[in-house]
């Protein structure tokens, strides 16, 4: 079976965490006897004005761990005009798709990751070549009310043409069904994959140590609500000084978050790790005691299953994704923007480490999110579509 992946965003290299779960799903399918390729119009933001003149251009091909990956480098000239942005994405994408086909032949099926704008490219390919496609939606823009009327029209067209519609959590599936209220098609739930690098990493036995470490890793933006985490952590410090908070990632909220730790006089207990590679994420989470996800919106939460795969208990908000992940014994769920509940849950994990057994947490995660589990489910979807074709 020949599968072409069309992602709406994608890691720039194997260590990049942005869209890493798309790449890892592609690699998992390849391991399960599928021929897999990737086509990605990598259009740079106008905000990075230097890259307009200095960045790479044209189509580049690389073999990424055996997967031919075609990137069409350019600039997103129409960020505020969705119809123009979609047109530009499709134009660049079709040229790249044609080159992929010349080298590797037509795929049997296409898997789109997010409608805007990879889905628009899949619709155009289907119109010309009749190659069926499935879509997995990931974007938090639906839950955050950030989809414009024109974007909604584009998204609905993609949804109508897709042979299968996948959401990465149960809550998100319900939300997408309501968003596309004019359509009768259901959205099915198939979660993201947890990489074998996390599930195969040796769980170290707990050793006596002076400090208990909470960790969060995120793009530091308002929707991640890391300020709530810092305030909740400051409340725990009133009960115990033997705790540390590590925050990994970069983003527009970083300077504000650092100022907050100074204002709360806890900067000696909060460590900002900066941008992390995939390998560094694994190492930092493996060395922590618990993971905390305070987000306002998540369609899934790959960092949550990565923490579980390393045997770490998780405190997460009921923000759309974690509700489909966290089970009894995995950690605790709390309401969004409820700092008191967040602090209480973190304190519960700190005071009751014996309630969260690392190997049991890992096994539950592997049973539901491993490469074998998810790749098998996806292959069943593809096979059903191709049989009915």
Would you say residue 146 has pLDDT above 90? yes
Q: pLDDT of 273-328, one tens digit each?
A: 999 999 999 999 999 999 999 999 999 999 999 999 999 999 999 999 999 999 99
Would you say residue 96 has pLDDT above 70? yes
Q: pLDDT of 3-61, one tens digit each?
A: 999 999 999 888 888 888 999 999 999 999 999 999 999 887 656 655 555 666 788 99
Mean pLDDT of 222-248: 97
Which residues, at least 6 apart from 357, have a Cβ–Cβ distance to it below 8 Å? 329
Q: pLDDT of 236-287, one tens digit each?
A: 999 999 999 999 999 999 999 999 999 999 999 999 999 999 999 999 999 9
For residues 135 and 48, the model is more confident at: 135
C-alpha span between 271 and 275 (Å, rounded): 13
Q: pLDDT of 99-111, one tens digit each?
A: 999 999 999 999 9
Would you say residue 206 has pLDDT above 70? no
Radius of gyration of the chain (CA): 21
Which residues, at least 6 apart from 352, have a Cβ–Cβ distance to it below 8 Å? none
Eight-state DSSP code of residue 310: T
Band (pLDDT 50/70/90 cuts) for residue 208 is low
For residues 252 and 180, the model is more confident at: 252
Ordered domains of the chain (ranges, CATH): 2-193+370-388 (3.40.50.2000), 197-368 (3.40.50.2000)
Q: pLDDT of 162-171, one tens digit each?
A: 999 999 999 9
Would you say residue 334 has pLDDT above 90? yes
Let me know if 344 is exposed, middle or buried by CB neighbors in 10 A (0-12, 13-18, 19+).
middle
- C-beta of residue 130 within 8 angstroms of C-beta of residue 153: no
- C-beta of residue 290 within 8 angstroms of C-beta of residue 312: yes
């Amino acid at each position: 079976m020949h599968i072409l992946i069309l992602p709406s965003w994608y890691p720039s290299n194997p260590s990049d965490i942005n869209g890493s779960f798309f790449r890892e799903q592609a690699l998992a399918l390849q391991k399960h006897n599928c021929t897999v390729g990737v086509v990605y119009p990598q259009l740079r933001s106008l905000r990075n004005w230097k890259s307009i003149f200095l960045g790479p251009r044209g189509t580049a091909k690389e073999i990424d761990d055996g997967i031919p990956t075609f990137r069409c480098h350019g600039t997103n000239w129409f960020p505020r005009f969705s119809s123009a942005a979609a047109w530009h994405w499709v134009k660049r994408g079709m040229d790249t798709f044609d080159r992929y086909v010349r080298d590797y032949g037509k795929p049997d099926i296409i898997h789109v990751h997010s409608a805007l704008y990879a889905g628009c490219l899949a619709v155009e390919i289907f119109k010309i070549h009749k190659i069926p496609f499935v879509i997995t939606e990931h974007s938090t823009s639906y839950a955050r009310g950030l989809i414009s009327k024109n974007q909604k029209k584009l998204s609905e067209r993609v949804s109508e043409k897709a042979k299968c519609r996948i959401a990465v959590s149960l809550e998100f599936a319900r939300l997408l069904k309501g968003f596309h209220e004019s359509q009768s098609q259901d959205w099915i739930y198939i979660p993201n994959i947890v990489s074998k690098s996390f599930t195969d990493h040796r769980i170290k036995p707990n050793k006596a140590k002076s400090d208990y470490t909470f960790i969060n890793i995120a793009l530091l933006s308002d929707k991640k609500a890391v300020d709530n985490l810092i305030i909740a952590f400051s409340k725990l410090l009133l009960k115990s000084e033997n705790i540390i908070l590590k925050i990994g990632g970069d983003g527009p909220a970083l300077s504000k978050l650092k100022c907050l730790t100074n204002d709360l006089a806890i900067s000696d207990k909060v460590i900002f790790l900066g941008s992390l590679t995939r390998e560094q994420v694994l190492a930092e989470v493996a060395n922590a005691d618990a993971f905390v996800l305070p987000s306002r919106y998540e369609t899934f939460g790959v960092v949550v299953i990565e923490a579980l795969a390393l045997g770490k208990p998780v405190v997460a908000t009921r923000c759309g994704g974690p509700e489909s992940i966290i089970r009894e014994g995995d950690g605790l769920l709390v309401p969004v923007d409820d700092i008191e509940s967040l602090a209480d849950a973190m304190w519960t994990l700190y005071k009751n480490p014996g309630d969260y057994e690392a190997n049991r947490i890992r096994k539950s995660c592997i049973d539901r999110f491993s490469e074998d589990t998810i790749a098998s489910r996806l292959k069943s979807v593809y096979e059903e579509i191709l049989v009915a074709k």
